[in-house]
A and B are shown apart, each in its own frame.
Chain A
Amino acid sequence: MSDATFEIDGQPTPFKPGQTILEAARDAGVYVPHLCYDPELGAHGSCKLCTVIVNGRTASACTMKALAGQEVEIDTPELEALRRSLVQMLFVEGNHFCPGCEKSGDCKLQALGYEFEMTNPHWVHFFPDLGVDASHPDVWLDRNRCIQCELCVRASRDVDGKNVFALAGRSVESKIVVNSPSGLLADSAIAAADRATEVCPVGAILVKRVGFAIPIGERRFDRAPISADALACEVAETDK
Chain B
Amino acid sequence: MEEYFDVWFALWRLASETTEEKRLEEQRRLERLHTRIENLRTLFGIYEWRYAFLLVGVAVTYQHFYEGDYAIRLETRQLYVFGVRVARVLEDCGARDAAFVQVSGPSGVCLTPDEFHRAIAFEDVATAGAFMVFDSRRDYFEIARNFAHFFAHESCGFCTPCRVGTSLQRGLMDKIAQGRGSRYEVNELMRLSELMKRTSHCGLGQTAGNPFNDAWRKFRPAFEKRLQARDFAPAIDLEAALAPARAATHREDALAHLDDQP
Contacts and interface: CB of A to CB of B under 8 A. Distances in A.
B238 interface: no
Contacts of B221: none
Nearest to A47: B160
Interface residues of B, number: 24
Contacts of A167: 157
Contacts, number: 71
A93 B157 contact: no
Contacts of A166: none
Nearest to A60: B201
Contact of B160 (A58, A86, A173): A86
Contacts of B199: 48, 51, 58, 82, 86
Nearest to B191: A85
B201 A46 contact: yes
B153 interface: yes
Contacts of B195: 82, 85-86
B244 to A, nearest CB: 19
B32 interface: no
A77 interface: no
A89 B161 contact: yes
Interface residues of A, number: 26
A170 B163 CA distance: 8
Interface in B145-173: 152-161, 163-168, 171
Given A89-B164, A89-B165, A172 B198 contact: no
A169 B201 contact: no
B164 A45 contact: no
Nearest to A94: B164
Contacts of B155: 170-172
Given A171-B153, A171-B155, A172-B157, A124 B164 contact: no
A171 B201 contact: no
A92 B158 CA distance: 17
A124 B235 contact: yes
Interface in A156-200: 167, 169-174
Interface of A: 45-49, 51, 58, 60, 82, 85-86, 89-90, 92-93, 123-124, 126, 148, 167, 169-174
The 5 closest A-B pairs by CB, nearest first: A174-B157, A89-B164, A171-B155, A48-B199, A170-B157
6 contacts: A47-B159, A48-B161, A48-B201, A89-B164, A148-B157, A172-B157
Given A58-B198, A174-B156, 5 more contacts: A51-B199, A86-B160, A89-B161, A123-B164, A172-B164
